[in-house]
Amino acid sequence: MVRAWYMDSESNDQRLEHHRNPPEFITMDKLFENCGVEYFSLNAETYKTDGILDEIKRKRNYNYEDEIVCSKERLPNYEKTLKTFFTEHLHSDEEIRFVVDGSGYFDVRDRNDQWIRIEVVAGDMIVIPKGIYHRFTLDTKNYIIAKRLFCGNPVWTAFNRPTDDMECRKSYLEKLKTGFATS
Ligand SMILES: CSCCC(=O)C(=O)O
Ligand SMILES: [Fe+2]
């Protein structure tokens, strides 16, 4: 079961859970309403044949797919790349990740600029909207494999905060006011 919670403001080890005291969880429905992050629960054992991932890809036009392995042995420039992932940034396209093995945390800024930590494990798929500030970290197990989906030719460019003049940022802020359309 996917979990998401508001983070404390401690700056110790980013790989720890960082709950507030007492913990404050948020459901995936509320997360979508709050900041437009979408969540799909898939079956990591059967996704190749059960048709659910295929249907999401078809409906949303995700015609590009590859796989990223984050582990000390297999991620090129391990330390540096993880640092880049954890630097607060946004993209001009959605960031779509489907976890097939391992686990990690996606942190997103809610509409009040508070960090929400989303714990992802095998079977979890999240869609981080374009223009939202976010970051990623491994947890203490230091291992995740995720499929990266994309509409068209992938662009992974990260724009570090602050980058508030970008069109995608402005349209994201507009959606915060008008609401996120359900797909
Ligand atoms: C779980 S995917 C690893 C992180 C990543 O690809 C990203 O932040 O862009
Ligand atoms: Fe990102």
Nearest CA owner, ligand 1 atom 7: 85
Give strand ranges (E) for the chain: 3-6, 38-41, 64-70, 89-90, 95-109, 115-121, 124-128, 134-138, 144-150, 159-160
Residue 102: CB within 6 Å of ligand 1?
no
Mean pLDDT taken over the chain? 97
- pLDDT by residue (tens digit) across 90-121? 999 999 999 999 999 999 999 999 999 999 99
Give the ipTM of the model, two decimals please: 0.96
pTM above 0.95, yes or no: yes
CA 146 to chain centroid, in Å, comes to 11
pLDDT at position 1: 78
Q: State the Cα–Cα distance between residues 44 and 14, nearest whole angstrom.
A: 26
pLDDT score for 54? 98
pLDDT of residue 183: 55
Angle at 144 between CA 139 and CA 31, to 5 degrees: 65
Ligand 1 atom nearest 136 alpha carbon: 8
pLDDT of residue 182: 65
Give the per-residue pLDDT at 59: 98
- What is the token pair recorded at 9? 């403001």
Nearest CA to ligand 1 atom 9: 85
CA of 145, closest atom in ligand 1: 1
Give the pLDDT score at 181: 79
Q: What would the mean pLDDT of 124-133 be, rounded to a whole number?
A: 98
Give CA–CA dist 35/24, Å, rounded. Answer: 16
Give 33-60 pLDDT, tens digit per residue.
Answer: 999 999 999 999 999 999 999 999 999 9
What count of other Cβ atoms lies within 10 Å of the Cβ of residue 176? 15
Was 33 annotated as part of a binding site? no
Domains in the chain with CATH codes: 3-176 (2.60.120.10)
pLDDT tens-digit series, residues 59-87: 999 999 999 999 999 999 999 999 999 99
* Residue 126 reports pLDDT greater than 60: yes
